[in-house]
Chain A
Amino acid sequence: MGGYKNRILEVDLSIGKMDITDVSEDDKKRFIGGSGVSAKLFLDRFHIQSNALSPGNPLMIMNGPITGTNLPGTSRFVVCGKSVLTGIWGESACGGNFGPELKMAGWDGIILKGVSERPSFLLIEDSRCELHDASDLWGKDIYQVTDSLKARYKDGRQVKVFAIGKAGENLVKFAGIGNDKGDFAGRTGMGALMGSKKLKAVVVRGSGALEPALREEYSSLLKILIAEVKESIPARALREMGTDSGMDLGMMTNDVPIKYWISPQDFDLSFNLGGPALTEKYLTKVHSCYACPIACKRVVKVTDGPYKTEEGPGPEYETCCTFGTMIMNKDLAGVIKANELCNRAGLDTISCGAAIAFTYECYEKGIITQKDADGLELLWGDIEPALKLIEMIAERKGIGSILAEGTRGAAAKLGKGAEEFVVDVKGLDAPMHDPRGWHRMGLGYAVSTRGACHLQHMTLYVEQGMSAYPETGLETDYKGPQSEGKARMYLISENLGVPCNSACLCILVLGCLSASHFAEMLRVTTGWKNFDVEELLKSGQRINLLKRTINCLLGMKREDDRLPRRILTPLSSEGNAPNLDQMLKEYYNLRGLDEIGRPKRETLEKAGLSELISKLYLTGA
């Protein structure tokens, strides 16, 4: 079977022991890799009820079979475990170059168990795997630790670094992990899980190669895919303006959340914060992940003014919203500064910005005072206090310590009705796409297995008309603010998006390709016979059910498949909101779930998951 190295490194940090493990060929085909294989390992081999910060909760860093090939969009890898932020299944995918390097070193993934006695980092050079003392690195920010480790191992091929910052060390619940400064596994608090293990970084250098199973077909496909991506307008938009290219159009369609999800369209904000503005004012060059013909990553520099920065990784669309539109800040230089601070500290810019915008609203409502906010005056439009809050959150100082618990955790501590207006699902702050503009996104937020998520499904691309996958049964044109027919559309796009995260294909690249291309990428790499779009979609169903089963065992029920009250309230008298009850009813029926949200026995059997029946139904979940 091509694509896999058939070795997963298993490290017990408590005793410094290392083993080699693997999953069966059957499980590779059933769950593909990445978060699918991680979920299977998590359920089969670990006590999933363990507290997320306990030594028993594993941190899994996993590649997919296509990671490290030269096919477009194959830079990605995923970090999984029980989420420190949500207490349910957590996963966060990351681009860059770490995953391919790990594959070249001969590994499909790493399972990290236990807790190191002292700060450490893991060095992997092909088969040589060692734990090293990281006491001198503890307390350093991600940029510093990356530079330091690259300098330490400067001889030979450059090492790739995957590290946490102060936020991870201080167990901030939405801490992320950074790969070589510019790429992050941001969501669900995987950085806090890594910090709880006293693991500062993983450093990898690989000298191997990856041979696809069907070399000739692979080479032909590679040419086709590169031509497809180059022809694609979404790819062109991403290359020229980055992910922020969508803000102007998003503002037109009510996709962009404003003032913590409470204000309608504001074109002045998108004019100042959108992709064209970022490109014209601050872009110095573009950067690409491993083997990517798009190069959507921005490199920016603020040359003067109060938010002066060195040349470095620029903000994504989501960050331009959380530190821009969400707090009514029009100063893009301030957003770039906020992005740099979050990157250095290792903070998810979505959850961090959302928590801060929520705090601004608490201040406006009188739930917190200037004294509660450690003297900060949290006024809409002013980025300055947000920058101070980022540092206070990372250090867990003052009100930052409350916000470090995540928006929902902070709201519970603050009380006074604050919980009523938190915009999250299952504890994960909603990303920056408003379901009142695009109803199917609302269903996606409600049922995604890691909480409010826009990346476990292809909804964003299909519903907004950027991509079309007619071979999957999806139509090419959908109306945004309409709930009818959206459950079926969501189900298909979820069945396509879930294997994307398991194969570790970049969702932006999939947005420029067809489902057939994606199935072919897996077939020619692995050599799986007859693997086609139908098989791809079936794997999406199977992996989704596996993750849902984990969440059911962790106590999730139908009432947790919800949307925040604010998202169910129209933005204006002419606006509307998703009909979640209708979409949810249809989705449950199509996905084969029972009335309390569990996969039905027959659904599991049909999906080839009979082994989950006893776990789910004999434990009283």
Chain B
Amino acid sequence: MAYRFWSEEWIREYQKMINSSEDYKKSGATWTAGAVCLVVSANPSVGFDKEVGIWLGLYKGVCEEIKTVTLEEAQKAPFVITGDYSRWKQVVLGQLDPIQGMMQGKLKLKGDLPTIVRYVKASQDLVKCASKVETQFVDE
């Protein structure tokens, strides 16, 4: 069953994928740096009238909490990665490495860069989990 991108159903499925990933359990095992928030920029043409964030409550290789949040709430996370719809679609489809995306400015990072760099494998494992969710994209 395909889930609509960034919907409540999609994020629940995403959490399941994260928590069933042996790779992430290992690469994120020492992560205690707090929540990571992924934010889609506003773009009404693809159904995002305003920014929408996904709050990932990550702790030691487990996603303890997942929820959609407003931009204001999202900014409270220690790590916020922001991009427009097309970039996140590329990430979820495995066409854009999130670290490369941040380096090229396609995704914007707020947060402690050395921590992100140290957990580069964990971030890639999180993306792999997202790409495992069967996704229905609004523009397809």
A residues sitting closer than 8 Å to B (CB atoms) are: 231-234, 236-237, 240-241, 245, 248-249, 252, 267, 271, 274-276, 279-280, 464-468, 476-477
User: A466 contacts which chain B residues (CB < 8 A)?
Assistant: 100, 103-104
A–B Cβ pairs within 8 angstroms, 24 of them: A234-B103, A236-B113, A237-B113, A237-B117, A241-B113, A241-B117, A245-B114, A248-B118, A249-B99, A252-B120, A252-B124, A274-B117, A274-B118, A276-B114, A276-B117, A276-B118, A279-B114, A280-B114, A464-B100, A465-B101, A465-B103, A466-B104, A476-B104, A477-B100
With A and B bound together, what is the CA distance between A609 and B97 in angstroms?
A: 42
Q: Is the Cβ of A231 less than 8 Å from the Cβ of B105?
A: yes
Known: A233-B103, A233-B109, A234-B103. A275 touches B97 (CB 8 A): no
With A and B bound together, what is the CA distance between A279 and B118 in angstroms?
A: 12
Instruction: Indicate if B115 sits at the interface (CB-CB under 8 A).
Output: yes
User: B103 contacts which chain A residues (CB < 8 A)?
Assistant: 233-234, 237, 465-467
User: A279 contacts which chain B residues (CB < 8 A)?
Assistant: 114
Residue in A closest to B103 when the chains form the complex, CB atoms: A466
Q: How far is the CB of A583 from chain B (nearest CB, A)?
A: 22
Beyond the given A275-B117, A466-B103, could you list 7 further A-B residue pairs with CB under 8 A, ordered by the A residue number? A240-B114, A241-B117, A245-B117, A252-B121, A276-B114, A465-B103, A467-B103
Proximity string of chain B (76-96) to chain A, C-beta cutoff 8 Å, 1 when within and 0 when not: 000000000000000000011
Instruction: Indicate if B66 sits at the interface (CB-CB under 8 A).
Output: no
Q: How far is the CB of A476 from chain B (nearest CB, A)?
A: 7
Q: How far is the CB of A478 from chain B (nearest CB, A)?
A: 10
Residue in A closest to B95 when the chains form the complex, CB atoms: A477
Instruction: Indicate if B102 sits at the interface (CB-CB under 8 A).
Output: yes
With A and B bound together, what is the CA distance between A232 and B95 in angstroms?
A: 22
With A and B bound together, what is the CA distance between A231 and B104 in angstroms?
A: 11
Question: Looking at chain B's contact residues, is the secondary structure mostly helix, strand, loop, or mixed?
Answer: helix
With A and B bound together, what is the CA distance between A467 and B124 in angstroms?
A: 19
Q: How far is the CB of B133 from chain A (nearest CB, A)?
A: 22
Q: Is the Cβ of B120 less than 8 Å from the Cβ of A249?
A: yes
User: B100 contacts which chain A residues (CB < 8 A)?
Assistant: 464-466, 477
User: A252 contacts which chain B residues (CB < 8 A)?
Assistant: 120-121, 124
User: A477 contacts which chain B residues (CB < 8 A)?
Assistant: 95-96, 100
User: B104 contacts which chain A residues (CB < 8 A)?
Assistant: 233, 465-468, 476
B residues sitting closer than 8 Å to A (CB atoms) are: 95-97, 99-105, 109, 113-115, 117-118, 120-121, 124
User: A234 contacts which chain B residues (CB < 8 A)?
Assistant: 103
Q: How far is the CB of B86 from chain A (nearest CB, A)?
A: 13
With A and B bound together, what is the CA distance between A220 and B116 in angstroms?
A: 34
With A and B bound together, what is the CA distance between A476 and B113 in angstroms?
A: 22
User: A237 contacts which chain B residues (CB < 8 A)?
Assistant: 103, 113, 117
Q: Is the Cβ of A240 less than 8 Å from the Cβ of B118?
A: no
Top 7 A-B residue pairs of the complex, sorted by shortest distance between their CB atoms = A465-B100, A276-B114, A466-B103, A276-B118, A248-B120, A249-B120, A233-B102
User: A476 contacts which chain B residues (CB < 8 A)?
Assistant: 104
With A and B bound together, what is the CA distance between A591 and B113 in angstroms?
A: 40
Q: How far is the CB of B105 from chain A (nearest CB, A)?
A: 7
Q: How far is the CB of A248 from chain B (nearest CB, A)?
A: 5
Report which residue of B102, B109, B114 has the largest number of chain A beta carbons within 10 angstroms of its beta carbon. Answer: B114
With A and B bound together, what is the CA distance between A252 and B104 in angstroms?
A: 18
Q: How far is the CB of B19 from chain A (nearest CB, A)?
A: 22
With A and B bound together, what is the CA distance between A232 and B114 in angstroms?
A: 15
Known: A249-B120, A465-B100. A240 touches B105 (CB 8 A): no
With A and B bound together, what is the CA distance between A279 and B114 in angstroms?
A: 8
Q: How far is the CB of A269 from chain B (nearest CB, A)?
A: 13
Q: How far is the CB of B88 from chain A (nearest CB, A)?
A: 15
Residue in B closest to A464 when the chains form the complex, CB atoms: B100
With A and B bound together, what is the CA distance between A425 and B107 in angstroms?
A: 37
With A and B bound together, what is the CA distance between A280 and B105 in angstroms?
A: 26
With A and B bound together, what is the CA distance between A564 and B73 in angstroms?
A: 54
User: A465 contacts which chain B residues (CB < 8 A)?
Assistant: 97, 100-101, 103-104
Q: How far is the CB of A462 from chain B (nearest CB, A)?
A: 10
With A and B bound together, what is the CA distance between A248 and B105 in angstroms?
A: 19
Q: How far is the CB of B109 from chain A (nearest CB, A)?
A: 6
User: B115 contacts which chain A residues (CB < 8 A)?
Assistant: 276
Q: Is the Cβ of B117 less than 8 Å from the Cβ of A267?
A: no
With A and B bound together, what is the CA distance between A236 and B117 in angstroms?
A: 12
With A and B bound together, what is the CA distance between A252 and B125 in angstroms?
A: 12
Report which residue of B97, B100, B102, B115 has the largest number of chain A beta carbons within 10 angstroms of its beta carbon. Answer: B100
Q: Is the Cβ of A248 less than 8 Å from the Cβ of B117?
A: yes
Q: How far is the CB of A98 from chain B (nearest CB, A)?
A: 31
With A and B bound together, what is the CA distance between A236 and B115 in angstroms?
A: 13
User: B97 contacts which chain A residues (CB < 8 A)?
Assistant: 465
Residue in B closest to A232 when the chains form the complex, CB atoms: B105
Q: Select which of A275, A464, A467 is within 8 A of B114 by beta carbon.
A: A275
Q: How far is the CB of B116 from chain A (nearest CB, A)?
A: 9
With A and B bound together, what is the CA distance between A242 and B120 in angstroms?
A: 17
Q: Is the Cβ of B105 less than 8 Å from the Cβ of A241?
A: no
User: A231 contacts which chain B residues (CB < 8 A)?
Assistant: 105
User: B124 contacts which chain A residues (CB < 8 A)?
Assistant: 252
With A and B bound together, what is the CA distance between A271 and B118 in angstroms?
A: 7
With A and B bound together, what is the CA distance between A546 and B17 in angstroms?
A: 56
Q: Select which of B96, B105, B120 is within 8 A of A233 by beta carbon.
A: B105
Q: How far is the CB of B12 from chain A (nearest CB, A)?
A: 29
Residue in A closest to B90 when the chains form the complex, CB atoms: A477
Q: Select which of A240, A267, A280, A467 is within 8 A of B113 by beta carbon.
A: A240
Residue in A closest to B101 when the chains form the complex, CB atoms: A465
User: A275 contacts which chain B residues (CB < 8 A)?
Assistant: 114, 117
Report which residue of A248, A271, A466 has the largest number of chain B beta carbons within 10 angstroms of its beta carbon. Answer: A248
With A and B bound together, what is the CA distance between A468 and B104 in angstroms?
A: 7
User: B102 contacts which chain A residues (CB < 8 A)?
Assistant: 233
With A and B bound together, what is the CA distance between A274 and B118 in angstroms?
A: 8
With A and B bound together, what is the CA distance between A465 and B103 in angstroms?
A: 7
